[in-house]
Amino acid sequence: MGEVWISAADGCDMIRADAIVILRMDRTGRLTAQLRDEAKVNVTLLEGSPGGARPPADFHRRLIRMIAELADSDGAQLVRAREEGGTWSWAAESL
């Protein structure tokens, strides 16, 4: 079974997908993940924008679906959000 990592909003941090217990998406499109630890640390996976191109309302569900699909792959995978011309998607690459 492969490991799945998610790139945080700043692009510098990576979060292991199996450390996430809650995903939250607010009205601005900001997506945060609460990690499985005693401190209940929250990490921003995607910055929101009140007036810009927002990701679709089910974008966090799409991330869960991609993680489930990649969990069966070999090796480690990195997932990151991508926006092109107002269309949002999750992209995966091998690490």
pLDDT tens digit string along 15-70? 999 999 999 999 888 999 999 987 788 999 998 776 667 899 899 999 999 999 99
Strands (E), 8-86: 14-16, 20-25, 31-35, 42-46, 77-84
What pTM value is reported for the model?
A: 0.85
Confidence (pLDDT) at 73: 85
Mean pLDDT is highest, among 6-10, 49-53, 76-80, for 76-80
Number of domains composing the chain: 1
Q: What's the confidence (pLDDT) of residue 1?
A: 56
Per-residue tokens: 94: 């091998």
Task: Identify which has the larger pLDDT, 53 or 94.
Answer: 94
Q: Which domain holds residue 42?
A: 4-94
Spatial separation of the C-alpha atoms in residues 95 and 88, rounded to whole Å? 22
